[in-house]
Structure 1
Amino acid sequence: MITALPIITDYPILPPLGLLVILAWRLIRPGYWPVWAGFPLGLVDDIFSGQPFGSAVFLWSVVFILLEAIDRKAVSRDYWQDWLIASVAIIFVLIGGMLIVDFQSNILRLDLLLPQILLSILLYPFLARLIGAIDNWRVAS
């Protein structure tokens, strides 16, 4: 809901924190979230973000399905691979959301998303460490 704050800018810069948190949690604990969890979580994101209804539902569901396919194929992953997977998912969701809003005019203006994409990718390791600490605390208690 941080994106609902009255921050006025010409371009999107706030990272999609809900997506970053759920990606971190899904990549740290692969079996914790079921594949269908992308639907209701995307629905909540659609309600609060102002995107067209169903865009985050579709994009987050695709990300969850692809993460499940990666988890079934991969033997083990390390930190850098998780960061790469999360970066590709962030880029896919942000560009997909922009193109869903208005494909004709936004196809030539994808450079507007660069600050938001870079901030999101650089913020992911911090959130992954935070989610890892929360998950360790959850498991320990």
Structure 2
Amino acid sequence: MGDERFTIESRQFVLRHRIPATKTERYWKGLEEGKIYATVCRNCGAAFSPPQTDCSSCYTSDMEWVEIEGDGVVEALTQIHSIPQGFEFKGEPYTIAVARFGAFRVMGWFEGDETLSVGEKVRAITGRDETGVWKVYFERVGD
């Protein structure tokens, strides 16, 4: 028998963030239009996905918006089996992957019964999740 003095009851802890999106509104609107945008610094050439409006390499704000297109290659992935707080709507394990599209690494959700592997080709698409939030999703590209 354990000492009851060391028993801790868990409690739900909810943390919400308000993220100002005015500088990256083009990215969010693009998702709604089926487009995925990134930025490239016109001064030093640094590439950012998700897009940044200020370069963290040379500190300029002279950024060019570019659309990510074509096929990418999966560089990393993780399968989530312990659903984190705030994602209970998923109700089942899911996969998050990072794929390279030229100079950009893009993070997205992969859905389906099959597993995804590093080195596979994917196409990035946009869609709404079960809660109505626009996200990047990956679909496998056939050979």
Fold similarity call, TM over 0.5: no
**Which of 1 and 2 has higher RCO (CA within 8 Å, sep 6+)?**
1
Return the TM-score normalized by structure 2: 0.21
In terms of Rg, which structure is larger? 2
Q: Which has a greater percent of strand?
A: 2
Whose helix proportion is higher, 1 or 2? 1
